[in-house]
Amino acid sequence: MLFRKATFADVEAMHALINHYAKQGAMLARSRNMLYETLRDFTIAENDSKVIGIGALHMIWDGLAEIRALAVDETLARQGIGRKIVVELTREAHELGVKTLFTLTYQRVFFEKLGFVVTTTDKVSQKVWKECIDCPKFPNCDEIAMSQELTPQTC
């Protein structure tokens, strides 16, 4: 398995993977336009030249970044691919000087195993006012806010 930054050639596979889960209500849908605009945020997990997982590290504010759009090919679930993507994104965040990582998720146990703790949206208020305000679920978001403070030990 190879981890690399996304390229334009990955957008269709990314779009299909994310929107597969969005149709199930497991994550927010993303348009192709949004994927193109945030392409540099994405890390790809690839096996035999096939996109098998994706995740994004999105900068929000000074020292604050979000892990989002984490998705793994359904046929390869529970094989550690998602965990490895989060580890890669955490390493990248550390290199960029991120102090706090957060996610909005339905997968509480998964992120707890990776050192995230449930937090309040007050902790990520820049996200709420910058992006959540335009979300179709706002103001009735049912995702769980979780965060992790980055230290040399977490990276």
pLDDT of residue 106: 85
Mean pLDDT of 42-68: 94
pTM of the model: 0.87
Distance CA 31, CA 36 (A): 9
Portion of the chain with pLDDT greater than 70, in percent: 83
pLDDT of residue 117: 95
Range(s) of the domain holding residue 131: 2-154
Mean pLDDT of 52-79: 93
Q: Is 66 left (phi over 0), alpha (psi -120 to 50) or beta?
A: beta
The neighbour count for residue 96, using CB atoms within 10 Å, is 12
pLDDT of residue 96: 95
CATH code of 24's domain? 3.40.630.30
